[in-house]
Structure 1
Amino acid sequence: MDVQSSHRINIAIDGPAGAGKSTVARLVANALQYVYVDTGAMYRAVTAIALERGLSSDNAPEIGRLANELEIELLPGEDGQRVLADGEDVTGRLRSLEVNRNVSAVAAIESVRRKMADLQRRMADAKGVVMDGRDIGTHVLPNAELKVFLTASPRERAERRYKELGDNPGITLDQLKLDIAERDRKDQEREFAPLLQAPDARYLDSTGRSIDEIADQIVEWGRSAVRTISAREK
């Protein structure tokens, strides 16, 4: 695709925890010279700050107020996207085991999701955005020109998360598999904006495939979508 083209689309990538969404979305955004929006990091930022302030993840009223007052920014950085909460860089705290175990409960709070979705839609207004999460194609950007549902086997997703936790994960791989299965259940069963594959989303299983291969596939779909839109306007 000619990156100078005036035709830019929004790409929504949804899927369960550990499917590789963030890594793939960053690669796709770089290839197309689009803006990457890590929505999961936004929920993790709310979760991290809530926990640091002593709020239980089931305290919906207080966490909802926190989310509405918190200023969250996503900025480019040398090692990827940086996440700021009220001006403080919280990027290094977002993948902790404690955040992993509480983020589903925080993300299920309707007032939190409404606030984050509003911010995310504003980020995508100008087009040229690659956004990943769990309800992007179904709720946040239902009119995205390309929607992808990215998944992988439960074991592979657990292994990816285990590696993310570093040399001292504080949890066994088997326990992490159980945690991911529980998060899948909570994400799929939450009442407001659950994890679902949009009817018009392309299904993509990353099990046993390289991240680069998956990203290349989505880039080609993106280029094809732009060509189709360009042809229609001629």
Structure 2
Amino acid sequence: GVICDLTGFAASLYKRGAAVQFVPTTLLSMVDASIGGKTGCDFKSYKNMIGSFFPAQKICYFPEFISTLSEAQFRSGLAEAFKTALLYDAELSDMFRTKSSQILSREPEIICTIIQKCSKAKAEVVEKDFTEKNIRKYLNLGHTFGHALETLAGLGTVTHGDAVAWGIGRAVSLSAKLDFCKESYKDEVLHILSLYGWDVNPVPKIASGGGISERLIQIMHKDKKNKSDKISIVLQRGLTDTFTQEVEDGDILPVLR
């Protein structure tokens, strides 16, 4: 994912745009990062602050790479795949719920299904909203919280996927707190997250020190998607029913304690 971002960014600048092709070798890149032309890099500990939109001319998939990944990198990609399921694919969401052992053991057929479903879903969204003016923003489910955790812990300390998985739990908890979704939906999402060993605690285990909640919110205010003094967060009314909402700090704090 990082290599796709940096290479795509360099290609977008060289001679005002040089053709680039990707061969993603991680699950995270296959299901998400290599698709859609978002390029860039982090700046002063903040995620993806410098970048451009520049799609690859071609993306070549070799699912065989998945068997070579460390457990941490495999789970990191799974988190983005689960996010895509919550956003667009009830069947895939049910697969995460009922076939966790097959997924975690990396059965080739089910991994190929996950890659196909996720790449198709993201490509369709990007085609409709390439520069993220409306519906593409939904792909950031869990990311406002997750990016804050990555920054707080120190970039690279926690995998992107583990941070996003924790962020998804906080996003659905906030949705339930604000009465946008039912408690049963929140509980179902948290249950699936726990099946894969992702952190569902309000205060993430990776974080240390005092005032964690306040520090996370302070970082969330730096998110480039914010347009006012409130924090813009992707929330859900239920499975595949997603929207963005500007939220006050006082409403976010309870789901971080």
Shared fold by TM > 0.5? no
Which structure has more relative contact order (CA 8 Å, sep 6+)? It is: 1
Query: TM-score, normalised on structure 1?
Result: 0.29
Which protein has the bigger helix share? 2
